[in-house]
Amino acid sequence: MITLNNGAVVGFQLSVLPGLETATPDNLRHIQVEGAGYGLRVESLDADISVPQLLADQLGSTIMKRAIVRTEASRANGRLGGRPRKSQAA
């Protein structure tokens, strides 16, 4: 079960969690929360899970999909030196 910041609680079968298909109860007791809650890490299985991607994949949330697209665009702009400057009006 995952408790989100808004209080919603979601749960998924291990078979839909990449890298956790064969997880044991002991593995699941050692899940680390990373990136301000946006990522989950299971060191013993070398598994990393993106919470927004998991929600988008399993719940079909267009809100989460848009958030992921915005995040990726922001990162790409950052690698290029930031947001493009608006052209000056003549």
| Each residue's pLDDT expressed in tens, for the chain with a length of 90 residues | 888 888 888 888 888 888 888 889 999 899 999 988 889 999 999 999 998 888 878 877 677 678 878 888 888 888 887 777 777 765
The predicted pLDDT at position 42 comes to 92
Domains and CATH numbers, the chain: 2-79 (3.30.2020.40)
The predicted pLDDT at position 41 comes to 93
Contact partners, residue 77, CB within 8 Å, separation at least 6: 83, 84
The predicted pLDDT at position 71 comes to 86
CA distances from 51 to 19, 33, 34, 59, 85 (A): 14, 10, 10, 12, 32
The predicted pLDDT at position 64 comes to 67
| Whether 34 contacts 50, CB under 8 Å | no
Which H helix or E strand runs over 39? strand 39-42
